[in-house]
């Protein structure tokens, strides 16, 4: 199963981008032996529309175009479910075991993500009640994907 992080906005060179790449690579390397065919990040250009509703719509359309018909869609949403690492790992393992081709984690822009994408998602995932910068959400998500891969492979990275 492929894992795709579809994120609105581009990370500039710096520590956040380096951390994202470190966790992406670790997740891809660890996942290879357990049926995860790759982890990729696809950045969607931020809309330049004047009003927030139009920006959300344009960005959400661009993100939706990255979700194959047979994929599971997961949206990062401040009002979503707060789950622990083991639960996320089991969920990813279940998708893989069912033969899911792709899991797409969608991170909206600064103005959020369209309700139509929220409705399409099989999981609405939150990293808590705090507001996080999109750059850090991407880092935290990729770390959790890496952690899930280590849990699925029996690697000792995760310590409960």
* pLDDT 10s digits, 25-68: 999 999 999 999 999 999 999 999 999 999 999 999 999 999 99
Q: What is the pLDDT of residue 134?
A: 86
Q: What is the pLDDT of residue 155?
A: 80
Q: What is the pLDDT of residue 40?
A: 96
Is 160 among the domain residues?
no
Is 158 among the domain residues?
no
Q: Supply the pTM of this predicted model.
A: 0.94
Is 135 among the domain residues?
yes
Is 11 among the domain residues?
yes
Q: What is the pLDDT of residue 22?
A: 97
Q: What is the pLDDT of residue 55?
A: 97
Using CA atoms, how far apart are residues 76 and 64, in angstroms rounded to an integer?
14
Residue 160 has pLDDT above 70, yes or no: no
Q: What is the pLDDT of residue 157?
A: 75
Q: What is the pLDDT of residue 91?
A: 98
Is 122 among the domain residues?
yes
Is 140 among the domain residues?
yes
pLDDT in tens, 79-115: 999 999 999 999 999 999 999 999 999 999 999 999 9
CB 132 within 8 A of CB 59: no
Residue 159 has pLDDT above 70, yes or no: no
Q: What is the pLDDT of residue 146?
A: 97
Number of domains in the chain: 1
The full DSSP string for 13-60 is SSHHHHHHHHHHHHHHHHHGGGT--EEEEEEEPPP--SSHHHHHHHHH
CATH number of the structural domain spanning residue 104: 3.40.1280.10
Residue 158 has pLDDT above 70, yes or no: no
């Amino acid at each position: 199963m492929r894992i795709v992080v579809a994120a609105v906005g581009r990370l500039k060179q710096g520590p956040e981008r380096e951390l994202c790449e470190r966790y992406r690579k670790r997740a891809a390397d660890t996942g290879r032996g357990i049926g995860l065919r790759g982890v990729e990040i696809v950045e969607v250009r931020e809309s330049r529309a004047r009003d927030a509703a139009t920006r959300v719509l344009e960005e959400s359309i661009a993100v939706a175009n990255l979700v194959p018909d047979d994929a599971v869609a997961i949206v990062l949403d401040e009002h979503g479910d707060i789950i622990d690492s083991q639960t996320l790992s089991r969920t990813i393992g279940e998708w893989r075991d069912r033969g899911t081709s792709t899991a797409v984690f969608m991170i909206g822009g600064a103005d959020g993500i369209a309700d139509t994408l929220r409705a399409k998602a099989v999981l609405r995932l939150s990293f808590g009640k705090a507001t996080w910068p999109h750059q850090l959400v991407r880092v935290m998500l990729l770390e959790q994907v890496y952690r899930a891969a280590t849990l699925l492979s029996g690697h000792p990275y995760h310590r409960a």
